A and B are shown apart, each in its own frame.
Chain A
Amino acid sequence: MKGTHANLSKEFITTSDKTDWHNDALWFLRAKRDKQRDTIEDWEKLRSTAAAIKDHTLSRLADYLQTFEENALQNGMQVHWAWDDAELREITASILRENNARSVVKSKSMLTEECGLNPYLEKEGFDVVDTDLGERIVQLRKEHPSHIVVPAIHLKKEEVSDTFHEKMQTEKGNADPGYLTAAAREALRKDFIKADAAITGVNFGVAESGAVVVCTNEGNADMGVHSKKTVIHCMGLEKLVPGYKELAVFTRLLARSATGQPVTVFTSHYRKPRPDVKQHIIIVNNKRTDIYTDPEFRQAMRCIRCGACMNTCPVYRRSGGHSYHHTVPGPIGSVLAPFYGKEKNKDLPFASTLCGSCNNVCPVKIDLAGLLYKWRQKLTDETSADTSKKMSMQVGSSILKSHKKYGMVTTAFRWVPKSLLQSKFNPWNSKGEDGKKARVFPEVPGETFRQWYKKRQK
């Protein structure tokens, strides 16, 4: 069970001093989100409207996809359909080959991350440069994004400075974010000039107009799209909205929920290619039809990938995104992950306290805690059991079922010496990087609650 969330988060918690810092960084986003919420008069109704729009769109998804394709074709776009990750990779590579494109600038796309596009293209001999600053940082470090909106949130500026010094020859030890951003801008400008093609993700597809909408703060998607002759937009099939009227609801919610901005700096609507430009849209399934077919889990397809559930999740905030060993981390990631491998992702729905904070912030009102709870039941039945967990559950159940056994065990537990409970033999205890104790088993009170209660009655 080496790669489980529990083990990976232990690494994050005990081998770095980042836990509190990471926790605060994410909570900062959550607090900014709350401020934005308070400026909108009808916020709760905005959320429920968004959920209803998504449910409506999903109930007619096949029709809307066809409408979208017809309109996009009429606008001069080329439309492709990919059944799975492999097909997305192949279509992309063949478009690039047909247009003699060897190097690509790519803006943020969790979908292509999910489909392993970068490693595939690199293996096939293409150069791929991620142009979102956060994604560029993790790409240079050969890591994966630890968050879907702020990919480098797990890194301190000193680490970024070291990476840039090594890869881009910036001044050693200069960790000023302004300096580092300027250096990245200069380096990326050269990549934009050199590239033959641009690839983007998609935030929304507008069925009635055939437009794809991409939201960025940096403007990096547009730098590529408007300067290259070959452009590819990769879109998950759940990204559709019926028309502009509905798009208004989502542009009001997305950035407010994600980073606490009233809107992203750039909301670009690509409808028609420039003259002499080949612009492609790849509509991607990759197991989305499996989620769609499951009536209990279909609501997870409402997700607009804002990341609000991660920013608020007490487990995500303290364990870091890489503990989740799935492309999308946090509560929504743990709901989606079992569709991509029940056995390998069976631990993820347990990486939650089920506190429900994610439900309260989700802009499309997905019952995340409820769905995580459902997965726990299903996965316990449908996957191989972890022996230690199974045994401890059986022991626990037999003790909790019997009043007598419970009394005996809780009394006996008090005899275990504190020196043993707080020693390294108890896996509960952990040490931080500095060798100091990071988590210590709490002291056991001298008497049980019942003993205390009875004494008090007298």
Chain B
Amino acid sequence: MNSKEKILDSLKKACGDPLPRPEIDLLYDKTALVEEYVRTAEASGTEVFLGEEENITGIITQWSEGQKIQSSVPRLREKYPLVFDEDMPFDQDNIPGVFVAEASFGVVENAALWFTDEELTSRLLAFIPEKLIILLSRNHLVATMHEAYARIEEGKTFGFGLFMAGPSKTADIEQTLVKGAQGAKELAVILY
């Protein structure tokens, strides 16, 4: 017997009667409130701008403070062309100073933003730039992770999926919170 057979065999011998798959039936408020999202996002260290479709680029320009901006958002790609090259991921000339992406949706209870390959275009772009600015439509908020995963299940399948809730951080040295451990040092969201 190989290891796989040995493992499965040991489990099958001992498993006993199968237990039913439980219903997930929890009581909570299912409405997704913008004010609540802003609160959880700010608590996670995210800067939140309440914007409109018309002033998105204005906010991006101001927040970027003159750094090189690249974007994966189709309607912004002409203004902020994407030159990042996945095959040279650590090449400083390639890495955007600021990367702009659009989240598929956001979760109110924990400020997590959902992305897949489609929104990111390159997986590493969610991690390697020092500053990220994320567009999020007010109509794309869900209350909890339950609604979030229901949406993921209904949506297109993906190769890589990511929840991001705030800038990269660590508290590994004496519990002191430091932003910018390995990934982005700053994260801003434009809620429009």
- Interface, chain A (partner B; CB < 8 A): 25, 28-29, 39-42, 45-46, 49, 52-53, 55-56, 58-62, 65-66, 75, 81-83, 87, 131-134, 137, 150-153, 155-157, 160, 177-178, 180-182, 185, 188-189, 192-193, 209, 211, 217-220, 222-223, 225-227, 237, 242-249, 251-252, 259, 262-274, 283, 285, 289, 292-293, 295
The minimal Cβ–Cβ distance linking B125 to chain A, given in whole angstroms, is 9
B62 CB contacts on chain A under 8 angstroms: none
The docked-state distance in angstroms from the alpha carbon of A267 to that of B116 is 12
Which residues does chain A contribute within 8 Å of B44, judged by CB atoms? Answer: 262, 265
> B90 in the interface, Cβ–Cβ < 8 Å?
yes
Task: Scan residues 40-86 of chain B and give those whose CB is less than 8 A from a CB of chain A.
Answer: 40, 43-44, 86
Q: Are A53 and B22 in contact (CB under 8 A)?
A: yes
Q: How far is the CA of A276 from the CA of B166 in the complex (A)?
A: 31
- CA of A223 to CA of B17 in the docked complex: distance in angstroms? 43
CB-CB nearest in chain B for A219? B183
User: What distance in Å separates the Cβ of A50 from its nearest Cβ neighbour in chain B?
Assistant: 9
Give the distance to chain A from B168, nearest Cβ to Cβ, in Å. Answer: 4
For A245, give its contact among B4, B153, B160 (CB under 8 Å): B153
Interface on B for A, CB 8 Å cutoff? 2-4, 6-8, 10-22, 24-29, 40, 43-44, 86, 89-90, 107, 109-112, 122-124, 126-128, 144-146, 148-150, 152-153, 157-176, 178, 180-184
Closest chain B residue, CB of each to CB of A65: B8
Find out whether the CB atom of A292 lies under 8 angstroms from the CB atom of B28.
no
Q: Is the CB of B27 within 8 A of A41?
A: yes
Kindly state the separation between the CA atoms of A133 and B177 in the bound complex, as whole angstroms.
12
| Given A83-B6, A137-B172, A265-B44; A59-B183 close (CB under 8 Å) | no
A245 in contact with B150 given A49-B26, A223-B128 (CB within 8 Å)? yes
B161 CB contact (under 8 Å) in A28, A269, A295: A269
Please give, as numbers and ranges, the residues of chain B lying within 8 Å of A41 by CB-CB distance.
Answer: 26-29
- Complexed CA–CA distance, A268 and B24 (Å): 23
| A223 CA to B90 CA, complexed, in Å | 10
Docked-complex contact B173 and A181, CB < 8 angstroms: yes
Whether B175 pairs with A59 at a CB distance below 8 angstroms is no
Chain B residues whose C-beta falls within 8 Å of the C-beta of A59 in the assembled complex: 15-19
- Residues of the A chain whose Cβ atoms lie less than 8 Å from the Cβ of B149: 244-245, 247-248
CB-CB < 8 A to B153: which residues of A? 243-245
Main secondary structure of the interface of B (DSSP, over half): loop
Provide the bound-state CA to CA distance between A266 and B168, in Å: 8
Q: Are B144 and A252 in contact (CB under 8 A)?
A: yes
Q: CA of A256 to CA of B173 in the docked complex: distance in angstroms?
A: 20
A-B contact count (CB 8 A): 249
Nearest CB on A from B28, distance (A) = 5
Q: Which residue of chain B is the closest to A288 with respect to CB atoms?
A: B7
Known contacts A81-B2, A182-B178; 14 further A-B pairs (Cβ under 8 A) = A46-B26, A60-B18, A62-B11, A83-B7, A178-B176, A178-B178, A217-B170, A217-B171, A222-B124, A227-B90, A262-B111, A263-B111, A269-B158, A271-B158
Task: Give 6 closest A-B pairs by Cβ, nearest first.
Answer: A219-B183, A272-B159, A262-B110, A218-B181, A134-B172, A269-B161
Chain B residues with CB below 8 A from A252, complex form = 109-110, 144-146
A248 touches B157 (CB 8 A): no
Q: Which residue of B lies closest to A156 (CB)?
A: B174
Task: Note all chain A residues with C-beta closer than 8 A to B6.
Answer: 83
Q: Is the CB of B181 within 8 A of A185?
A: yes
Contact assessment for B19 and A56 in the assembled complex, using a CB-CB cutoff below 8 Å: yes
- Contact indicator B183/A133 (Cβ below 8 Å): no
Q: How far is the CB of B97 from chain A (nearest CB, A)?
A: 16
Task: For the complex, give the distance between the alpha carbons of A53 and B26 in Å.
Answer: 14
Residue of A nearest to B123 (CB): A226
| 6 pairs of residues in contact across A and B, judged by CB atoms under 8 Å | A157-B174, A181-B170, A222-B127, A248-B148, A266-B162, A266-B183
Tell me which residues across on chain A come within 8 A of B182, comparing CB atoms.
131, 185, 188-189, 218-220, 223
The CA of A180 and the CA of B153, in the complex, are separated in Å by 41
A200 to chain B, nearest CB (A): 13
Q: Which residues of B contact A262 (CB under 8 A)?
A: 40, 43-44, 109-111, 165
Considering residues B29, B86, B173, B183, which has the most beta carbons from chain A within 10 angstroms of its beta carbon? B173
* CA distance in complex: A95, B41 (Å): 41
Question: With A227-B124, A265-B164, A269-B160 in contact, is A42–B26 under 8 Å at CB?
Answer: yes
Among the interface residues B18, B112, B160, which one has the most CB atoms of the partner chain A within 10 A? B160
